[in-house]
Amino acid sequence: MSTRNRRAPPSSSSSSANRLPIPQNPNKKAMAAKPQVAKKRTALCDVTNQRNGSQIGSRSSASSSKPMVPCTTKVVKTKKETSTFISNHGLSGNVFLASLSSKSSILVPFSDTSISGTVESIETIATNHSPNSRGIIRKRDIFTDTVTIEEVLDIDNNLTDPQFCATIASDIYKYLLESEFLGFQVNRRPSVDFMETVQKDINSGMRAILIDWLVEVAEEFRLVPETLFLTVNYVDRYLSGNVMKRQRLQLLGVACMMIAAKYEEIHVPEVEEFCYITDNTYFKDEVLKMESDVLNHLKFEMTAPTAMCFLRRFCSVAEMTSEVPPLLFQYLAHYIGELSLLEYSMLGYAPSLIAASATFLAKYILSPSQKPWNSTLRHYTTYQASDLCDCVKVLHHLCCNGSGSNLAAVREKYCQHKYKFVAKKYCPQSIPPEFFHDLSN
């Protein structure tokens, strides 16, 4: 492990600032220099962003503070049936359903050579907000559309670059989709209402402040995006089953980031560096103890599908089927995906749905006059355009209102030159309703 050069800590006057500094030399490539220690950052003041005794309110939520739990539905093409709607908030669209019964079949994307549609019945358990009940059993029908070979492009035909994993890519994403639906049973998915049913001393605004700070820490340490998404997954899963005091919420964040970095990174920041970046608010022993508590609560189940897992795949599909600048499109989709991390209500949506919706919205922002969805995206994501409607609208709201947010770490990150200034791209104020119409039967 390489040794990081430490910089002198900031003056004492900076410790009262509630905004954390942006990393220096943002245009400097990560591979061109040795990793450097992160600047000493101020504590989060018990994650309330207090200054002189006043509390800065967190940004307004794109929706209600309670998680959105609309139903899961697929548009029928091969057989006319109606799926059961489950909605606590009167919304429709695809979201993550809490669990599958032992007799259920698993939703997997159909193969590239499939000609006719298939119908699979899945017994699902939709999460219930009642603290005395785990859920209500519902039955949903999954329909895969009839396609022809000409309608769907084969994106797994690159056999020369081993990084594409062309021969096993389809199997990998089948497994990820299966893991996504089975995640609740093996404790890989957070609860969608833990703030209301478990936590007493923290709220969704404090969670957003913590994640906003973790975005800057990840940028300072030059961590890969997967590490950030996995960190948030660990934080939410731990909070789903453990009451947390606000004074220790930042400790949980750095411990989860250290675990995620060990899972994803080649060069992992040392424990002392995580203590240093919290302005030495916590000692090394405290960080290690919290790391142990997190690992034991999660039962060392560290592999979990996040939106970033699917986003890379979906971006590749969009780039091959549309005339979009590849790097610009990827950064824009990643920007939208990271905005979703701040929103507590987004826990009600499956990671694959968030990734598909971010792909949809990124295509729309870059080409507002063209319909974003096509048969190839439908094939590889397993989502119809209508399935994305609710999630896209929430993400669209976040994009349009991100500039006025008090939590600006994600926007400031993607306003840099190395990310092609995608956060400054104009986002149309509305999306034509016809863009959510499913492809003609």
**Residue range 244-272: average pLDDT?**
96
Residue 90: is its pLDDT beyond 60? no
Query: What is residue 142's three-state secondary structure?
Result: strand
pLDDT of residue 47: 63
- Residue 100 phi, psi (nearest 5): -115, 145
**Segment 347-361, tens digit of pLDDT:** 999 999 999 999 999
Query: What pLDDT was estimated at residue 424?
Result: 92
Per-residue model confidence (pLDDT) at position 64: 40
CATH number of 99-189+305-436: 1.10.472.10
pTM for this model (two decimals): 0.69
* Cβ–Cβ < 8 Å for 166, 158: yes
Out of 11-20, 32-41, 135-144, 324-333, least confident range: 135-144
Q: What is the mean pLDDT of residues 40-46?
A: 57
The chain-wide mean pLDDT, for the chain, equals 73
Mean pLDDT of the region 277-302: 95
Phi, psi of 5 (to 5 degrees): -80, 120
pLDDT at position 250? 97
SS3 135: strand
Range 387-416 average pLDDT = 88
Report the pLDDT value the prediction gives residue 152, as an integer from 0 to 100. Answer: 80
| Mean pLDDT, residues 240-247 | 95
Is the pLDDT at 88 greater than 50, yes or no?
no
Rounded to the nearest angstrom, the gap between the alpha carbon of residue 10 and the centroid of all alpha carbons in its chain is: 32
Q: What is the pLDDT of residue 26?
A: 42
pLDDT of residue 187: 59
CB neighbour class for 187 (10 Å; exposed up to 12, middle 13-18, buried from 19): middle
Alpha helices in 221-350 (DSSP H): 225-239, 249-264, 271-277, 284-297, 307-321, 326-342
pLDDT in the model for residue 171:
87
Asked if pLDDT for residue 170 goes beyond 90, the answer is no
Q: What pLDDT is stored for residue 401 in this prediction?
A: 83
Q: What is the mean pLDDT of residues 298-320?
A: 91
Please report, as a single letter, which amino acid is at residue 418: K
* Residue 185 confidence (pLDDT): 55
In degrees and rounded to multiples of 5, residue 10 shows phi and psi of -70, 170
Q: Which two tokens stand for residue 355?
A: 């990734």
- Residue 162 C-alpha from the chain's centroid: 26
Mean pLDDT of 290-294: 97
Q: Which residues contact 340 (CB under 8 A, 6 or more apart)?
A: 307, 346, 354, 358, 395, 398
Confidence bin at 167 (pLDDT 50/70/90): confident
Residue 149 — pLDDT band, cuts 50, 70, 90? very low
Mean pLDDT of 185-213: 89
Cβ within 8 Å of residue 227, ≥6 positions away: 218, 257, 260, 261, 263, 264, 265
Place of tokens 């000409």: 150
